[in-house]
Structure 1
Amino acid sequence: MKVAPLPQDELERLAALRSYAVLDSAPEVDFDELTRFASELCGTPIALVSLVDAGRQWFKARVGLDAPETPRDIAFCSHAILQRGVFEVEDASCDPRFADNPLVASQPNIRFYAGAPLVNADGFPLGTLCVIDRVPRSLDPVQRQGLAVLGRQVIAQLELRRKLVDLAHARDQALAGVRAKDVFLATMGHELRTPLGGILGLSELLLEGPAGAPAAGGDDLRAIHRAGTHLLEVVEDILGFAQLELDQPRLRPRPFDVGELLADVEATVRPLLRGRSLTLKVARGPAPIVADPTRVRQIVYNLVANAIRFTERGGVDVTIEAGEGTLAVRVRDTGIGIPTDKLALLFRDFSQVHGDHEAELRGSGLGLAISRRYARLMGGDIVADSEPGRGSTFTLTLPREPG
C-alpha cells in the first residue's frame, strides 16, 4: 500500500479547511442531496463528501457507508486531492497503490473509486466528492463531467455555509453589543438621573425658603436650578436617542385624555418660569385619544420647555385642535424665532439652529429629532412654522386611534 504524500502547501490547506468550521458538524440536507445525486448519477452504492483533515478523512455526507471517518493514510481521497481533475481507480485490487489497503482487503471491499477534488477559490483542495463501488468499473464521460460539476456545487455550498456561519457570528456579536449598551444606558441613566434629581429637589426646597420669607441667595439658587434642569434634559435626550438607535422602542398605546396630560406637563414646566416675565397658557377640556401617553408627554414637554427656553418676553400658548380622526397639540411662543433657511435643520440629529450668542439656550440638539421619531412611530408628525423675532409654532398631530 502506498501512502499519499502531503501537499506542499499542507499547512495552508489545513488552515483553509478549518476556516469553514465544518469538521464534525451535523448532517445538512444540501450536502446529503448532492451526495445522493452523485450516487445515482454514477450508479454506485457508495458516495461521500470527504474532507481530508490532518490525520483522517471525515465525511460531511455519506450514502451507503456507516463509518463517519477513516484514517488518512489509507484514504483514497488523500491521493485524489493531489490531482486537479477527477481521480479514478478502476480496480483497486489490481492497483499496487491500493491492493493491500484495508479498505480493499476488507469492508467496504472497495474495487472502484472516483473522486472529484473540492478545490476552493484560493486553490486549496479540501477533500473530494467521491463515488465507490464493490466491483471494477469506470465512469463514462457524462458521469465523469457530472461528478466534477457536483463537486463544484459542494464547494459552493461550503462557501455559502461559511458565510452563514460568519453572519450568525456577527449577529451574535452585535446582539452582545446591544445588550452591553442596554446595560450601560440603564446604569448611566440611573447614575446621572439620581444626583441630578437630588440637586433639583434641594434647590427647589431652598428656593421656597421658610414660610412667608424669600429664599436667601435666590438668584444663585435659580441659576443652580436652571443649570440642573438643563443638564437633566440633555441627559434624557442623549439616553433617549441612544435607545432609539439601538432598537425601535415598543409603543404601549392606551386610551387617555390629552387635556389631563397637558395639565400635568404644565405643572412640570412651571419651575422653568421662575424669575422670568412670561405667561404660560395651557388649554383645558377633554380630548380623548388612543396612543402611548408616555411618549406623547415626552414630546409635549419637549415642545413646551423649548418654547419657554427661547422666549424672553411675552408668553407660550398651548392649544388642542380636533380634526377628522386626528388631534393636534399646538405650541405657540413669542420668542426669538428661527430663520426660514434653518427650519429644515430642526429635526436633524445633533443640529443647532441658534448662534453662539444664544449658547446658554442650547440643548443636546436631539430633543426635536427624538420627538419627531416618536410622533411618526405613532402615525403622526411634528411640523414647525417660525418667523425670526416674532416667535415659533410647533404642531404635534396624532391619529385619534392607532393605524
Structure 2
Amino acid sequence: MKVAPLPQDEPERLAALRGYAVLDSTPEADFDELTRFASELCGTPIALVSLVDAGRQWFKARVGLDAAETPRDIAFCSHAILQRGVFEVEDASADPRFADNPLVASQPNIRFYAGAPLVNAEGFALGTLCVIDRVPRHLDAVQRQGLTVLGRQVIAQLELRRQLVELAHARDRALAGVRAKDVFLATMGHELRTPLGGILGLSELLLEGPVGAQGGSADDLRAIHRAGSHLLEVVEDILGYAQLELDQPRLRSRPFDLGELLADVEATVRPLLRGRAVALNVARGPAPIVADPTRVRQIVYNLVANAIRFTERGSVDVTLAPGDSTIAVRVRDTGVGIPREKLALLFQDFSQVHGDHEAELRGSGLGLAISRRYARLMGGDIVAESEPGRGSTFTLTLPRETS
C-alpha cells in the first residue's frame, strides 16, 4: 500500500480547512442532497463528501457507508487532493497503490473510486466529493463532468456555510453588546434616579414644613428642588434616547382612559408651578383609547412640563379633542413662544431653540425628539404652533387603537 505524500502547502491547507469550522459538525441537508445526487449520477452505492484533516478523513455527508471517518494514511482521498482533476481508480485490487489497502481487502471492499477535489477560491484542496463501488468500472465523460460540477457546488455550500457562521457570530457579539448596554443603562438609571429621588423628596418635605416658610431658606430649597427636577429630567431624557438608539422598543398597548391619565399628569406637574403666576387647567371627562399608557404619559408629561417651564405668567391649558378614529391632546401656553424659523428644529435630537432662557435651566434637547418618536411608533404624531411672546400649542394626535 502506498501512503500519499503531504501536499506542499499542507499547513496552509489545514488552516484553510479549519477556517470553515465544519469538521465534526452535524449533518446538513444541502450537503446530503449533493452527495445523493453524485451517487445517482454515477450509479454507485457509496458517495461521500470527505474532508482531509491532519490524521483522518472525515465525512461531512455520506451515502451507503456507516463510518464517520477513516485514518488519513489509508484514504483514497489523500491521493485525490494532490491533483486538480477527477482522480479515478478503476480497479483498486489490481492497483499496486491500493491492492493491500484495508479498505480494499475488507469492508467496504472498494474496487472503484472517483474523487473530484474540493478546491476553494484560495486554491487549497480541502477534500473530495467521491463516489465508490464494490466492482471495477469507470466514469463516462458526462459523469466525470457532473462530478466536477457537484464538487464545485460543495465548495459553494462550504463558503455559504462559513458566511452564515460568521454572521451568526457577529449577531451574537452585537446582541452581547446590546445586552451589556442594557445592563449599563439600567444600572446607571438606578444609580442616578435613586439619589435624585431622595433629594427631591427631602426638599419637598422641607418646603411643606416650617423651614419652607422662612424666606431665604424657602428660596434655597426651591432652587434645590428645581435643580434636582431638572437633572432628573435630563437623566430620563438621555436614558430614553439611548434605549431608542439601541433598539426599537416594543409597545405594550392596552385599553385605558386618557382623561384619567391627564389627571395623573396634572398631579405630577403641580410642584413645577411653585413660584409661578401660572394657572394650570386640565380637561376632565372620559376618553377611552388603546395605546401604550406608559409612553403616552411620558409624552404628555413632557409637553405639559415644557409648557410650564417656559411660561412665567398666564396659563397652561390641556384639552382633549376626540375624533372618529383619533384623539388629540392639546397643550396651549401663554409663554415665551418660539420663532417661526426655529419650529423645524424642535423635534431634532439635542436641539435647543430657547437658548439660555433666564427663567429656566436648559434641558437635554431630547425630550421632544423622544416624544415624537414614541408618538409615531404608536401611529400618531406631534405638531407645534407658536408665536414669540404669545405662547405655543403642541398637539399630540393618537389613533383610538394602536397595533
Identity of aligned residues (%): 90
2:250 match: secondary structure:
coil
Correspondence 1:258 to 2:258 = yes
Cross-structure match for 1:374: 374
Residue in structure 1 matched with residue 304 of structure 2 by the alignment: 304
2:195 aligned partner: 195
Paired residue secondary structure (1:37): helix
SS at match of 1:361: coil
Shift of 1:17: 0.8
User: Would you say the 8 A contact 2:283–2:319 is kept in 1?
Assistant: yes
Match of residue 386 from structure 1: 386
Question: What residue number does 1:361 align with?
Answer: 361
Amino acid at match of 2:194: T
User: More deviation in 244-253 or 267-276?
Assistant: 244-253
The offset of 1:360, in angstroms, is: 5.2
For normalisation by structure 1, the TM-score amounts to: 0.94
Contact 1:209 1:216 in 2 (8 A): no
Residue segments in structure 1 that go unaligned for 5+ positions in a row: none
Q: Which residue does 1:323 correspond to in 2?
A: 323
Tell me, yes or no, if the aligned pair for 1:34 and 1:154 is still in contact at 8 Å: yes
Q: Distance in 2 between matches of 1:214 and 1:259?
A: 38
State how far apart, in whole Å, the 2-side matches of 1:350 and 1:78 are.
65
TM-score (norm 2): 0.94
- 1:59-98: CA deviations, max 9, x gaps? 0011111111111111111111111111111222222222
Preserved contact between residue 317 and residue 332 of structure 1 (Cα < 8 Å): yes
What are the within-5 Å matches in structure 2 for residues 262-277 of structure 1? Answer: 262-277=262-277
d(CA) in 2 for partners of 1:212 and 1:369?
36
Q: CA deviation at 1:154?
A: 0.5
Please tell me the residue identity of whatever aligns with 1:95: D
1:59-70 mapped onto 2 (5 Å cutoff): 59-70=59-70
Report the CA distance between 1:322 and its aligned residue.
1.6
Is the 8 Å Cα contact of residues 309 and 360 (structure 2) preserved in structure 1?
A: no
C-alpha displacement at 1:260, in angstroms? 2.2
CA–CA distance in structure 1, aligned partners of residues 38 and 361 of structure 2: 75
> 2:128 matched to which residue of 1?
128
CA RMSD of aligned residues (A): 1.9
Q: Is the 8 A contact 2:339 2:387 kept in 1?
A: yes
Counterparts of 1:153 and 1:358, CA distance in 2: 72
What residue identity is the alignment partner of 1:74? I
For 1:227 and 1:68, locate their aligned partners in 2 and report how far apart those are by CA, in whole Å: 71
Residues 21-100 of structure 1 correspond to what in structure 2 (within 5 A)?
Answer: 21-100=21-100
SS in 1 for 2:161: helix
For the residues of structure 1 that align with 2:362 and 2:213, how far apart are their CA atoms? 33
Corresponding position of 1:396: 396
Q: 1:28 corresponds to which letter in structure 2?
A: E
Of residues 340-349 and 57-66 in structure 1, the stretch that sits farther from structure 2 once superposed is: 340-349
The range that moved more, 272-281 or 130-139, is: 272-281
Is 1:219 aligned with 2:219?
A: yes
1:165-223 deviation line (CA, Å, top 9, x unaligned): 12222222222222222222222221111100000011112222329943652222111
Task: Write the distance in 2 (CA, Å) between the matches of 1:263 and 1:21.
Answer: 61
C-alpha offsets along residues 216-241 of structure 1, whole Å, 9 cap, x if unaligned? 52222111111100110111112222
Structure 1 counterpart of 2:384, which letter? A
Q: Distance in 2 between matches of 1:82 and 1:360?
A: 80
Structure 1 residues 198 and 137, CA gap change in structure 2 (3 angstroms): same
Tell me the SS of whatever aligns to 2:329: strand
Structure 2: how far apart are the matches of 1:57 and 1:113? Answer: 15
Change (3 A) 1:388 1:122: farther
Number of matched pairs: 403
